[in-house]
């Protein structure tokens, strides 16, 4: 379900919030019941915004945030610790 | 436990990450078993960093992240939607 590179995993990075909101909606639209948002570092706030916009404004009462995990990853050379977040959105339909 | 203004609730804002890390350590030091980190908007990434630094680097194996909730709040006049996070750290000792 949360395998790397899976279609229903969306990596939130430098694009605009609405870009990722659209990506989430498309994933639900093609029939996925679960969409996973992942982000690192400063993009974490953006991932939370994306999840909240999908949940509150666009698919209110149809989507639930079932999990929110935070962790640390080593990034770059020399490795440096970067915080990560994984938010799981599930369709209730 | 998560009452507004309680001593063990730390609002993460514009100060440096280490400032909030210290605040968390102080709360555990005075005997609190639970410390709650709260943040809004862009400070969300910082709150995650604080939680991860406390957990991984300083109190490894002594502190666990038992809950991570995201939500939306109305802020300002006229009100505008802002994402929020609440991270609960619990001492295992």
Query: How many angstroms separate the CA atoms of A44 and A35, rounded?
Result: 16
CA B47, B52, B57, B60: dihedral to nearest 10 degrees?
Answer: 120
B34 versus B59: which is more confidently predicted?
A: B34
Whole-number average pLDDT of chain B: 89
Cβ of residue B52 closer than 8 Å to a chain A Cβ? yes
- Give residue B60's pLDDT: 76
Say which CATH class B6-91 falls into.
alpha beta
Phi/psi for B78 (5° steps) reads -70, 150
Q: How many other C-beta atoms are found inside a 10 Å radius of the C-beta of residue A73?
A: 13
| A·B CB contacts under 8 A | 50
* Chain A contact set for B43 (CB, 8 A): 45
From the centroid of its chain, how far is CA A26? 13
- Give residue A57's pLDDT: 79
A45:B49 CB<8 A = no
Cβ of residue B66 closer than 8 Å to a chain A Cβ? no
Residue B1 has pLDDT above 90, yes or no: no
Q: Domain residue spans in chain B?
A: 6-91
Q: A1: helix, coil or strand?
A: coil
- Give residue A6's pLDDT: 66
pLDDT tens digits for range B5-23? 567 999 999 999 999 999 9
Interface predicted TM-score of the whole assembly (ipTM), two decimals: 0.81
Q: Which residues of chain A have pLDDT under 50?
A: 1-4
A52:B72 CB<8 A = yes
């Amino acid at each position: 379900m949360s395998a790397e590179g899976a279609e229903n995993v969306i990596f939130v990075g430098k694009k605009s919030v609405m870009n990722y909101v659209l990506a989430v909606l498309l994933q639900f639209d093609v029939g996925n019941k679960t969409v996973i948002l992942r982000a690192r570092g400063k993009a974490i706030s953006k991932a939370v915004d994306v999840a909240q916009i999908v949940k509150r404004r666009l698919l209110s009462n149809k989507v639930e945030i079932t999990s929110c995990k935070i962790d640390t990853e080593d990034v770059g050379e020399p490795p440096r610790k970067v915080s990560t977040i994984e938010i799981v959105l599930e369709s209730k339909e």
